[in-house]
Structure 1
Amino acid sequence: MSQKRKSVNLFYGFLILLTLVNLIQSFATELILDEAYYWYFSKNLDWGYFDHPPMVAFFVKAGTLLFGGELGVRFFASFLFTGTVYFLWRTIDDDLKYKNTALFCVLMASVALFNVYGFFMLPDTPLLFFAALFLWSYKQFLEKENIISILILAVSMAGMMYSKYHAVLLIGFIILSNLKILGKKNFWLAGILALLLYSPHLYWLYENDFNSLRYHLVERANSKYKINYTLDYVAGFFGVMGLAFPLIFKAFFKYEKKTAFDRGLSVVVYGIFVFFLISSFNRRTQAQWPLLVSLPLIIIAFNYALKHEKFKKWLFRFSLATLVLLSFLRIALVEERISPIVYESHGNKEWVAELHQKSEGRPVVFRNSYSEASMYSFYSGVEAMSANGYPFRKNQYDLDSSESNFRHKKVVYLSSQKGADSSFGYTRKFRNLKWKGIFVDDFRPWRKLKVTLQEEEIDPGSNSVSFKLDNPYNEEVAFGELKFYGLTLNRKKAVLDTLKVELENRFLNGRIPAKSSLEIRVDLKDTEKLQQAEFFRITIAENILSMGFQGNIVPVKE
């Protein structure tokens, strides 16, 4: 048998083993919080969701149609990851790779965070697959602009964008690295086809008033700068590649980028690093955000190793050491007793069973926790929702109609807030989070009331403001159930303080008719607080719920 044939057999054997190991891990590991949330997405398939495009929900839905439990949620993650590895291998066209297949396999199995997406089903799982497909198809397109490369390029771009919005960075930096490609009509054809494939999501954004984009780009509160945001980001960026990261980045800096494809890989790494470095100046960056750089780094490091024997030996040793460590950590995800920390895949079935017993099987409403609500519903089979407000953020439970399934029902309302009322309590092991619950016999949420300030900007010396109050419900809402507040926000849209708001007497005992709107003018108290504010909004707390996100945000005059 030839060396190449042996190499190919070894590679495909590795892919089969990798898939089987990941399937076993998928079956044996309890869900993590975000996975439960995406499972909630999949219960009602749509062309988009508040936090992400729909690709992750589609794969979760497909898996749960085949299998129950954790395996159903994660089933396609294993195959997507295997596909990612396959297309990375195909992208490397140096024949020396056939003599170094073992190195490639060990390297692929040891890239730290990268391997998480071999069994967790998260938006980055399909993102990595379509990104690997994109890099391979881009290279094919550079070599030969045939109909196959055009179609695969289009599908990969659309697939990435259906997975996560920041896929646009990979596409954008590849174009930036090779501006001549904009002169190729076939590349424009691929782009148009990708846009057509992506159009259902664009239409969904339009139909939903661009809710998701407005939140991420305009309404989302940023944080005051902290040096550890940047330091954590830089450490995570380099550490994501595992123990071999010094060697991998050495290869990146030393590898000679001769071709347009190699230059593209380099620009992607630099571009994504700088983009999220800037992002770290106003918020904490999550470790997976720059994960796309792992693909070009793997390709470059392996290509460099093929020509440098000493480097190759050390890369193999460090990768093997990382693989041993990762194997232990993967077992620890399943077996809490050997884990150095309590992770979010530990103890979920226990707290869900305890809550189910204490809540007497009632539907459960969590204050400000979409992940807890989704996790509870997954393991208990009981309806649950998240009632969101300050200081939390909007999510899918604000966008969909889940609230209507709970109105006027007997529910249990849970809060982790200190000093909250309590009929019973329980503690979730992960982060030692203590929840307190009360029984509510007629739950009356009005989170979808809408407040629109009439002023385009607020005068800091003003003692009153006008707004339109819209009631989208099929029933009237009593003003007696509502409390209005004014919120002052800093330039990063984080809450500074609360202003008292007084309604006119004629509204105090009145009602807002169903499917109607009212023009309301309210008096503001403590208006000196406006002097320090950059933005202002009106918000509503109804019945037992805290302040929501009903009002639009307007600037305060300088």
Structure 2
Amino acid sequence: MLNPTNQTAGNHTSLLQHPLFWLLSALLIFRLVLLIQGDLALFYDEAYYHFWAVNPDWGYYSKPPMVAWVITATTTLFGHLPEWTVKVGASLLYFATALILYDLGKRLFDQTTGLYAALIFFSSPLVSFNSLFITTDAPLLFFWAATLWLFIKAMHSDNLAIWLLAGTAGGLGLLSKYTMGVIAVAILLFVLTTKTYRGQLAKPGIWLAAIVAAIVFLPNILWNMQHDFISLQHTSEISELGKSLFHLDKLAEFFAGQFFVFGPIAFFIFITLFFKKPQSEAHKLLLIVAVAMLAVISLQAFLARAHINWGAATYVSASLLVAYVLVSQQRKKLMTWLVGINLVLATAFYFYHPLLKAAGVEITKKIDPYHRVMGWREVTLDTKQFVKQPLDYVWVSDSRMLLSYAHYYLSDFANDQPLQLRSFNPKGTIKDQYDLKWDIGKIESTNQNFIFISEKEKSLAGCFAKFEKLGMAFDPTYPDLQRRIYVYQAQDFKGYQNCR
């Protein structure tokens, strides 16, 4: 049954009295301090999502809206600057997910299993890395865990109110990332293959949850209908299923990467469970939910490609399974090694630059995992040497990265004066939110004074009545890489048809 079966007297310690809870809390506090004191600039996806957040909608070119809503919440509370106010939602959501895992483990197994699961999840390299960056994974994993938690409670109690909450969580998960749909399929598969719960299909609860999830998700569907299902087009493009199929090397690369994503010991224990019969219905449910997600993304990797974080939701229920194995086999020492290795990996990542400097190693692009973040804040701010009053102009670019950075670092959010932006898209192919909504060729600007920015030199005299180079912003980011932004002043856009 999906209810506690292994509670013992020793498992009734107050959560606040348990040292593992304080280890979990200390890890959260450490990450928050690191964010606030670490001065880590925004990755361009974060700056892009921040632009979404100040332009609220029910959908965006590449994603549903939840990540933007999270940023709206944190920046409303803490302001838009410095950068940690954009990022902080990730750490908080991962911690909340860990607390849900604690309660799930306690309900399904015992308190120790719950604490182990929370710590395994929260110390995993995936969460350690992603806690410094706000991505769609943070809300996805939270609502994935919440949906699983509420589904289990609803199955046990058959309470319609809890079924309604489960459907709401599922719908909010779909508004976080479309892969949330995998958990619905996994839950249905569990119900169909488990005699004890097959009767739920004849009751209203599970169908009520499905209807509520669809209603919560409906605004994003309607948004996509109004925009030619652009999000699905983007999903198809990044999956690369239109290119050559069947790549064993990509599958092997993805699978090997999971040892780093979840942690080497945790992932090894998890894959050993593939070859064992589930020991309980709870065990079976968790395994189906985890394997379903991993199987879908593994298939994607085999057919075309998949980034190693795409299967992140796997490790919500996988954390519970690994914790159950360690507790049931009384492997405290192995648990110590598991968390210890994860924390060593996190420490190496968090203090990568100081460690290299202490070792006397020169930091270069080739060896720096932060290289995609470094230098862009500085070079964006350096454009102000050519444009003293950024808000007096409409900023134009063919790069969503440059537009996103310019919007974040050059806007005056304190006075509610965001930078005006336009996408330069002469080919007409929609490749980001700016092309979709802010194309200079489709939206007439009342201000015809423009600043054009590009990573490469441009000659666009035919497009504008005036197109003059102001200079090049520059940042010497690495010995082997320098950031450059070419800055032009332009006036009176004449239309793409006049570009030459």
1:64-83 to 2 correspondences below 5 Å:
64-68=75-79, 69=81, 70-83=83-96
Answer yes or no: is 1:439 the counterpart of 2:488.
Answer: yes
Instruction: Name the residue aligned to 2:453.
Output: 414
The CA deviation string for residues 45-100 of structure 1, in whole angstroms up to 9 with x for no partner, is 11111111111111111111121222321333332112100111111136974456
TM (norm. structure 2) is: 0.78
Check whether the contact 2:101–2:114 (CA below 8 A) recurs between aligned residues: no
Check whether the contact 2:456–2:486 (CA below 8 A) recurs between aligned residues: no
The CA deviation string for residues 405-438 of structure 1, in whole angstroms up to 9 with x for no partner, is 7576333333335887876434564893754525
Answer yes or no: is 1:51 the counterpart of 2:62.
Answer: yes
Q: Out of 220-229 and 197-206, give the one that drifted further.
A: 220-229
Instruction: Name the residue aligned to 1:5.
Output: 13
Check whether the contact 1:134–1:157 (CA below 8 A) recurs between aligned residues: yes
Matching residue within 151, 173, 191 for 1:160: 173
1:475-490 to 2 correspondences below 5 Å:
481-482=496-497
- Between the two structures, name the one with larger relative contact order (CA 8 Å, sep ≥ 6): 2
CA distance in 2, matches of 1:219, 1:75: 27
1:44-443 to 2 correspondences below 5 Å:
44-68=55-79, 69=81, 70-93=83-106, 97-99=110-112, 103-104=116-117, 106-179=119-192, 180=198, 181-217=200-236, 222-224=242-244, 228-253=249-274, 256-281=277-302, 283-310=304-331, 312-332=332-352, 340-341=367-368, 342-359=370-387, 361=390, 362-367=393-398, 369-381=399-411, 382-388=419-425, 394-401=431-438, 403=440, 404=443, 409-417=448-456, 424-426=471-473, 429=477, 432=481, 435=484, 437=486, 439-442=488-491
CA distance in 1, matches of 2:230, 2:281: 38
Structure 1 pair 304/437, CA: closer, same or farther in 2 (3 Å)? same
* Cα offset, 1:189, TM superposition: 0.9
Amino acid across the alignment from 2:379:
W
* Cα offset, 1:397, TM superposition: 0.7
Answer yes or no: is 1:17 the counterpart of 2:26.
Answer: yes
Check whether the contact 1:333–1:343 (CA below 8 A) recurs between aligned residues: no
Cα RMSD over matched residues?
3.4
Matching residue within 40, 46, 61 for 1:35: 46
Check whether the contact 1:366–1:415 (CA below 8 A) recurs between aligned residues: yes
CA distance in 2, matches of 1:99, 1:271: 26
CA distance in 2, matches of 1:390, 1:320: 52
CA distance in 1, matches of 2:150, 2:69: 23
The CA deviation string for residues 121-167 of structure 1, in whole angstroms up to 9 with x for no partner, is 21111111001111111211221211342122112101100101111
Structure 1 pair 337/203, CA: closer, same or farther in 2 (3 Å)? farther
CA distance in 1, matches of 2:227, 2:430: 18
Amino acid across the alignment from 2:47:
A
Check whether the contact 2:87–2:132 (CA below 8 A) recurs between aligned residues: yes
* Cα offset, 1:299, TM superposition: 0.8
Unaligned runs of 5+ in 2: 1-8, 193-197, 412-418, 461-468
Q: Out of 297-306 and 176-185, give the one that drifted further.
A: 176-185
Is the partner of 1:414 in helix, strand or coil? strand
Check whether the contact 2:448–2:492 (CA below 8 A) recurs between aligned residues: yes
The CA deviation string for residues 423-459 of structure 1, in whole angstroms up to 9 with x for no partner, is 643456489375452524225386xxxxxxxxxxxxx
Check whether the contact 1:423–1:439 (CA below 8 A) recurs between aligned residues: yes
Amino acid across the alignment from 1:412:
I
TM (norm. structure 1) is: 0.71
The CA deviation string for residues 487-542 of structure 1, in whole angstroms up to 9 with x for no partner, is xxxxxxxxxxxxxxxxxxxxxxxxxxxxxxxxxxxxxxxxxxxxxxxxxxxxxxx6
Check whether the contact 1:111–1:240 (CA below 8 A) recurs between aligned residues: yes
Check whether the contact 1:426–1:435 (CA below 8 A) recurs between aligned residues: yes
Is the partner of 1:244 in helix, strand or coil? helix
Check whether the contact 1:127–1:163 (CA below 8 A) recurs between aligned residues: yes
The CA deviation string for residues 205-256 of structure 1, in whole angstroms up to 9 with x for no partner, is 2233323224434898644456643332222234311232454325533664
Is the partner of 2:35 in helix, strand or coil? helix
CA distance in 2, matches of 1:30, 1:111: 23
Amino acid across the alignment from 1:439:
Y
Instruction: Name the residue aligned to 1:460.
Output: none
Structure 1 pair 156/358, CA: closer, same or farther in 2 (3 Å)? same
CA distance in 2, matches of 1:351, 1:253: 49
CA distance in 1, matches of 2:41, 2:355: 10
Amino acid across the alignment from 1:172:
V
Structure 1 pair 131/388, CA: closer, same or farther in 2 (3 Å)? farther
CA distance in 2, matches of 1:81, 1:293: 14
Structure 1 pair 224/372, CA: closer, same or farther in 2 (3 Å)? farther
Q: Which structure features the higher share of strand residues?
A: 1
* Cα offset, 1:40, TM superposition: 0.6
CA distance in 2, matches of 1:98, 1:171: 27
Amino acid across the alignment from 1:118:
S
Check whether the contact 1:416–1:433 (CA below 8 A) recurs between aligned residues: no
CA distance in 2, matches of 1:387, 1:152: 44
Structure 1 pair 331/392, CA: closer, same or farther in 2 (3 Å)? farther
Amino acid across the alignment from 1:9:
Q
Q: Out of 386-395 and 173-182, give the one that drifted further.
A: 386-395
